[in-house]
Structure 1
Amino acid sequence: MKTTDKIILLSGLLFGVLFYEQAAGINFFIFSLVQVIGLYFTTPSERKTRNWWLVFAGANISAVGILLYGAQLGVWTNVISLFVLAGLSIEPRSSLVISIFHSLYTVVTGVVHIMTDFVSKTMEKSDWKEHSRLFKNVVIGAVSFGIAMIFVALYRNSNAAFKELTDQIDLSFISAEWIVFTVFGYYLVYLMYRPRKIKQVEEYDTVTSNQLNEEATGITAKWMSVQSENTWARTLLLMLNILLIVVLISELMYELGWVDLVDEVGHSANVHKGVNALIFSIVLAVAVILFFFQGRLNFVKENQWLRVLAVLWIFQNVALVLLTAWKNWMYVEEYFLTYKRIGVFIYLICCVIGLIYTYIKVTGAKSNWFLVRRVGWTIYATLLITPIVNWDQLIIEYNFSQAAGNPQNLDVEYLLDLPESNYPLIYERLADFRTYFPEEWDQRYIHLNEFYTEASSRDWRSFNFRTFNALTTKKQTYEISYEY
């Protein structure tokens, strides 16, 4: 049996043992550690490129984030990292975006591929001409396990200490549900180590350069002259620049109080509408630039003003992003922090980085695929940062500190919708505001008992430091018995 097959079998079993009826914690850390070690030793040194090492580090960082806080975002980042790392171990030249695309493609079409793999392996012939290699491995494993069980029975009868030791082994967790769960884990691990690729997509990704050459034309070359295309691009970008200048000026005049609206718009509606429109406008802005700067317009002598207009539009979009960030901060100051408002800031940071790469693409005659590659890594780097930050504690501490002068805007119900491991901290801070929220304060026993009961139903596999710290806090005014 190949080393990779052994790792797949071990990982499938670990999946069932570590994750069944457990929360995210040290189980993910152990599972991820086994996978990165397995991929390290099964990946040839020539395939361990810079990108491979970056994703290798990303898998470990996300695993540490899960161990610290048990956050679901860390779980998704870790799963993505492991799938991408396995893909890069086979094709190190793949970009991050295409590696993720092929991972999704593998999972969606996994059943078909597993069936075809099974058929092909059973048809392989080896020294036993009448049997397949897979059949022989199954027979060898079954016979070996049977003989081992015979010796276990003999040793139990002949050795009282060994019998007492084996009596303490609890296998009650093995059930039909556990078996199905473990098989599902084996399915996921198998697909991770046996990724599938669309050949045409893979070839395009690996052969496309980040730099354009003067032979590049673009899709408009078939039906439009370069002069007409240049005129069209300059006309459109000039109009869009003028339009965006008007938008920015009008928005600044409103925010500074120089003009009043007929229908007053609150911070909430203003921010929500602004962010939703910004999402579409940024995507559209980048798409327009990618369209016009995909080929020959990068090299014509008359493109100086076109570049100026494109760069000006990029900087205006950056200004629009910064203005939206300011509005979001005003919103946070009035209505406090939430995950959505933090998400807006993270999205805006990604927008600025994407626009910076768009500027580099325009001024450096880079290919469109250059932008796709760089933006993909930007989003991945952002995902890596999020699991190692205790966002729940940040939200709780900030909201209660701001509530000192504005308690009526404190959304306690939102805080109680955060993971239950935050309940001890929430009620510790809520003690100073009990007169403003008597109903929520009276429910503290119910909520805290729910948290302790839920945590006590899990064992060491679900250990993470946030839950552990919440369970061991001594700042409550009553004692609740629990085991962890």
Structure 2
Amino acid sequence: MKKHQLILVSSLIFTLLFYNESVGVNLAIFGLVLTGIICYCFQDRFTSRSHLVLVITSILSCIAFAWYGDFVSFLALALSVIFLQFKTQESNLKIIQVFPIAFLNGITSLGRMLMFTQWLPKREIKNDFAKKLIAYFIIPTVFVGLFFIIYAFGSDHFSALFTDYYLDVNFFQLILIALLGFYLSFTFWNYWIPEAFSDYNSMMDNDFKDKQSIRNQRTFSFLDIDFERKSGEITLVLLNALILAFIVTYNYEQFFEVVEKSKLSAATHERVNAVIFSIIMAVGVILFYFKGGFNFDEKAKNLKRSSKIWIFLNGILILSTIIKNSEYVSFFGLTYKRLGVYAFLTLAIIGLVFTFLKITKQKTNAYLFNQMVWYCYGTILLCSYVNWGNLVTNYNISVNKGVEPTFLSDLNFNDEARRDYFKLKNLDGQYPEVSREEIISERQNDSFLSKALYYELLSKKK
């Protein structure tokens, strides 16, 4: 199928799925349709294992959204389908470029849709086209219309055949949905990639191309390479001493200093935030010094050694934070935030590993980002596939921590476990529980295309 056909077919399917409906199963079906079209029409471009992986994740993300219908599963669906399209159509471009390209096309498509010559096929109009149009369409239509008016005045029953019915169609909504479907389909199938992105793509490679030219590349024009190397060594030695002192004081405060129970939550979050910011800055320091020439500088052994020590010490800091977060969970139970801390610290460890590999294997800074974008994507998939609200509820009930009725009522997709626990303990979740049950009742009354299947299979509260 050609692009204009794909746009029109997708627009029609979108309109049929979303007219007079809210977002639900229909978006999952639309995502599956797009995935199916890509697999069918462009299967000859599936040249690597990543294509198969993206097809599987796209299907699973669509199923996850059909089940939960929440923002995380929507994000997973959107990223999966867009990544699959981008990887299929533009396999040479780095996947990290999909974000600025998607943002840019979201704006430019509003104008490019009106440039019909750029996306509609050019057809030659023959000389007798106007004659055929007049002879076969306009003239018959005029005569039929005139005689219809005459016959309608002469017979009420004849007029009733064409007028005595009501077309239950909201034309305003239909037009808006059709326009939205056309806009999304046009952006998806007929995206525009500026030449600058193709030129910039080579700068996103994992390996340096011209090693000789960057070997003596300086960051500051007023500093010779020797001064810059020495400056880096001094900086990293001081940073290592600083972080070592911080690790000692941090762990003392975490594990030995007595903190009031009422202030423990705030103190823990403050320390975790400090660690998060520290890790980001730590990676930034490495990227600054090893963005070019020092990767191949034989005199930079001390700089590399200090950098690896810096990475190792940051790893110790992360492990300390994981232990403290685990201790915090054992005292107060799980929450979404505490799970989020685990997720970020895991990504931080992965980031430090790739930063270490960047130094040892002499990779570009882009190497780190090219790798981490996939791990961040994987984290989003994991968040969308697993029912974390139910996991938190069951864990907290099993250890009898964090089981306050209002807290459990604020969690998502834990309704069966929450109801059973409240009934067993005769608890009242107050307003959050009432609000949650109202949402469940409303979602269960949605039409099929607007449903989240989780609520469809959830029993009604007795």
Q: CA deviation at 1:352?
A: 0.8
Aligned to 2:444: 455
Q: CA deviation at 1:63?
A: 1.4
The counterpart of 2:368, out of the listed 367, 371, 382, is 371
How many aligned positions are there? 428
Structure 1 runs not aligned, ≥5 long: 133-141, 147-169, 479-484
**Pairing 1:141-180 to 2, within 5 Å after superposition:** 172=168, 174-180=170-176
Q: CA deviation at 1:230?
A: 0.9
| Residues 97, 376 of structure 1: 8 Å contact kept | yes
The counterpart of 1:216, out of the listed 214, 217, 221, is 214
Q: CA deviation at 1:334?
A: 3.1
Aligned to 1:118: 116
| Residues 23, 462 of structure 1: 8 Å contact kept | yes
Q: CA deviation at 1:120?
A: 4.0
Aligned to 1:70: 69
1:308 aligned partner, one-letter code? R
Structure 2 Cα separation of the partners of residues 15 and 92 of structure 1: 27
Structure 2 Cα separation of the partners of residues 244 and 12 of structure 1: 56
Aligned to 1:162: none
The alignment partner of 2:326 has SS state of helix
Deviations 1:351-389 (A, max 9, x none): 111111000001111111111100111111211222111
State yes or no: 1:433 paired with 2:429: no
State yes or no: 1:353 paired with 2:350: yes
How many percent of aligned residue pairs carry the same amino acid? 24
Q: CA deviation at 1:395?
A: 1.9
State yes or no: 1:394 paired with 2:387: no
1:121/1:390 CA distance change after superposition, 3 Å:
closer
Structure 2 runs not aligned, ≥5 long: 130-136, 142-165
Structure 2 Cα separation of the partners of residues 3 and 374 of structure 1: 34
1:467/1:243 CA distance change after superposition, 3 Å:
same
Structure 2 Cα separation of the partners of residues 332 and 248 of structure 1: 21
The alignment partner of 2:124 has SS state of coil
Aligned to 2:300: 303
The alignment partner of 1:330 has SS state of helix
The counterpart of 1:410, out of the listed 403, 412, 415, is 403
1:89/1:410 CA distance change after superposition, 3 Å:
same
1:174/1:4 CA distance change after superposition, 3 Å:
farther
| Residues 52, 89 of structure 1: 8 Å contact kept | yes
2:410 aligned partner, one-letter code? D
**Pairing 1:242-281 to 2, within 5 Å after superposition:** 242-257=241-256, 259=257, 266-281=263-278
Q: CA deviation at 1:331?
A: 2.7
Q: CA deviation at 1:128?
A: 0.3
| Residues 233, 302 of structure 2: 8 Å contact kept | yes
Q: Which has the larger radius of gyration?
A: 2
1:210/1:425 CA distance change after superposition, 3 Å:
same
1:9/1:413 CA distance change after superposition, 3 Å:
farther
The alignment partner of 1:101 has SS state of helix
1:88/1:25 CA distance change after superposition, 3 Å:
same
Structure 2 Cα separation of the partners of residues 439 and 301 of structure 1: 66
TM-score normalised over the length of structure 1: 0.79
| Residues 84, 103 of structure 1: 8 Å contact kept | no
**Pairing 1:84-163 to 2, within 5 Å after superposition:** 84-115=83-114, 117-118=115-116, 120=118, 125-128=122-125
Aligned to 1:135: none
Q: CA deviation at 1:418?
A: 3.7
1:236/1:171 CA distance change after superposition, 3 Å:
farther
Aligned-pair RMSD on alpha carbons?
3.3
Deviations 1:182-241 (A, max 9, x none): 321221121011222232233222464312334324451643222111101111111111
Moved more, 14-23 or 423-432: 14-23
1:87/1:444 CA distance change after superposition, 3 Å:
closer
TM-score normalised over the length of structure 2: 0.82
